[in-house]
Structure 1
Amino acid sequence: MERFTDEALVLSTVDYGESDRLVTLLTREHGKLTAFAAGARKSKRRFAGALEPYMRLRVQLVETRGSTVRLDSADIVAGYYGARADLSLIARALYAVELCRELTRDHEPHPELFELLESYLQKLEAKEAGPTSLLAFELSALAHAGLMPRFDSCSLCGGALGAHPRFDQAHGGAVCESCALRARDAVAVPSELLSGLRALQEGERTPLPPELRARARGLLNVFIAHHIGRRLKSVDFMAQVGLD
């Protein structure tokens, strides 16, 4: 069995048996891995405080016969403790790690996504990530996963969107009024919303006004749920906290 070391961000954990824990990691070099941490819930020395969502770790892993690897040790590199003292920051961090978990397949390296998530967590910790930055993070994560929604032209015909654009998650983004007749789930959206989302895709970081931000949040929630097959649990937590 091969032993290896990697950098990792904790995406989620599940208690297993009486004392063990299954930990989903996004590693820099090996992608998403499910690691078995034997005795993690009883040992206060081996994994003390390390196996919590969005911790940044240096891990020692061992390949096993199945798809799960064995976690032998985990050293905390960054705890992002500044992002754990406020419910709004916790909600955004949990949403970010859940999104990355659902957008990736096991054992497929995604170094760009690792760096994107690490950077966003650093901004949350430094209190430098406003509400619009979460939309920018989502759009970048979707792009790395090959699921970038289209906002600049019609997703079906490639033509101009016209004065009355619509958005259809099943067809990959915005559609023109004519093509909307073929997109049963298409909903009307204001042109300025599509322009704002396109600007975020292109790297601009101008904050969206609250009304447009809330509508953008709704569009991306529907788009992501359609493509991964379910609504992310952290969406409801953000709503409970009062975040759009």
Structure 2
Amino acid sequence: MERFEDEALVLSTVDYGEADRLVTLLTRDHGKLTAFAAGARKSKRRFAGALEPYMRLRVQLVETRVSTVRLDSADIVGGYYAAREDLPLIARALYAVELCRELTREHEPQPELFALLEAYLHKLDAKEAGPTSLLAFELDALAQAGLMPRFDSCALCGGPPGERPRFDQAHGGTVCESCSGRARDAVNVPAELLSGLRAIQEGARTPLSADLRARARAVLNVFISHHLGRRLKSVDFMAQVGLD
């Protein structure tokens, strides 16, 4: 069995048996890993406060004969504690880690996604995440997963979106009026929403209006749910908190 160290962000945890815990980690060099933390729920010293969602850790892991690795130790590098004291920040952070967990496969290195999530959590903690920051994070994460929705042209014919564009999650983005008959699940979207999302894709951070942000959230929720096969649980939590 090989022992190794890595930097990790905690994506989620599940209690196992009477004393143990399964921890899903996004590591910098080894990608997403499911780690078995023996006695994590009974020991107050071994993993004290470390195995909580979106903690940044330095971990010691041991490969086993199964897909799960063994977590031997975890030292807190960053707790993002300011982002744990404000409900809207908690909701955004939990959504970000759940999205990354569902977009990734076990044991596939994702250093760019790790850096993206780390940077977003830092912005939340510093309270520097502006109104469009979550949309930007989502689009960047989707791009890393090879699921970037198309907003600049029709996903079916490649032509311009036109004056009355629609959005179809099954075909990967915008559908022009001429092709809308081939996209039965497509929904009408304002052209200014598509241009705003396209600008965010290209790196612009100009805030969208509250109405456009809400509509963008709805479009991306449908797109992500379609490609993952389920709706993320943290979406409902964000809605309860009142985030658009």
With the length of structure 2 as denominator, give the TM-score of the two structures.
1.00
Runs of 4+ in 1 over 4 A off after TM superposition: none
Q: Distance in 1 between matches of 2:192 and 2:175?
A: 15
User: Could you tell me which amino acid in structure 2 is paired with residue 63 of structure 1?
Assistant: E
Give the corresponding residue for 2:215.
Answer: 215
Structure 2: distance between partners of 1:85 and 1:127:
11
- How far has the Cα of 1:178 moved from its partner? 1.1
CA distance in 2, matches of 1:200, 1:160: 19
Measured in 1, the distance between the counterparts of 2:8 and 2:180 equals: 43
Whole-Å separation in 2 of the counterparts to 1:60 and 1:199: 41
2:170 alignment partner, SS class? helix
SS at match of 1:198: helix
Q: Provide the secondary structure at the position in 2 that maps to 1:51.
A: coil
Is the partner of 2:180 in helix, strand or coil?
helix
CA-atom RMSD, angstroms? 0.4
Residue 94 of structure 2 is matched in structure 1 by: 94
1:201 equivalent in structure 2: 201
SS, match of residue 57 in structure 1:
strand
1:164, 1:35 → 2: CA distance? 49
**How far, CA to CA, are the matches of 1:237 and 1:156 in structure 2?**
34
2: distance between equivalents of 1:161 and 1:143? 21
CA distance in 2, matches of 1:200, 1:178: 26
Between the aligned partners of 2:137 and 2:112, the Cα distance in structure 1 is 12
**2:132 aligned partner, one-letter code:** T
**Partner SS, residue 34 of structure 1:** strand
User: The residue matched to 1:153 in structure 2 has which SS?
Assistant: coil
Is structure 2 residue 31 aligned with structure 1 residue 35?
no
CA displacement at 1:131 relative to structure 2 = 2.8
Name the SS for the 1:23 alignment partner. Answer: strand
Percent identical across equivalent pairs?
86
What corresponds to 2:14 in structure 1? 14
AA aligned to 1:196 is G
SS at match of 2:177: coil
Distance 1:161 1:93 in 2: 33
Tell me the equivalent position of 1:72.
72
* 1:132 aligned partner: 132
Matching residue's letter, 2:23: V
Matched, 1:3 2:40: no
Alignment of 1:142-221 (within 5 A): 142-221=142-221
Deviations 1:167-191 (A, max 9, x none): 0000000010011100010001000
Structure 2 stretches of 5 or more lacking a match? none
Distance in 1 (alpha carbons) for counterparts of 2:36 and 2:178 = 52
Q: 1:144-172, CA deviations, whole angstroms, 9 ceiling, x for partnerless residues?
A: 00000000000011001110000000000
Q: Distance in 2 between matches of 1:131 and 1:96?
A: 15
Q: Could you say which residue in structure 2 is the equivalent of 1:49?
A: 49
Q: Distance in 2 between matches of 1:131 and 1:57?
A: 28
SS at 1:184 equivalent: coil
Q: TM-score, normalised to structure 1's length?
A: 1.00
For residue 239 of structure 2, what is the aligned residue in structure 1? Answer: 239
CA distance in 1, matches of 2:60, 2:131: 35
Following TM superposition, by how much is the alpha carbon of 1:118 offset from its aligned partner in structure 2, in angstroms?
0.2
CA distance in 2: counterparts of 1:46 and 1:199, whole angstroms: 46
Alpha-carbon separation, structure 1, partners of 2:222 and 2:131: 18
Q: Aligned partner of 1:113: which letter?
A: L
Q: Which amino acid aligns with 1:201?
A: Q
Structure 2 distance, partners of 1:205, 1:28, is 26
Residue identity opposite 2:62 in structure 1: V
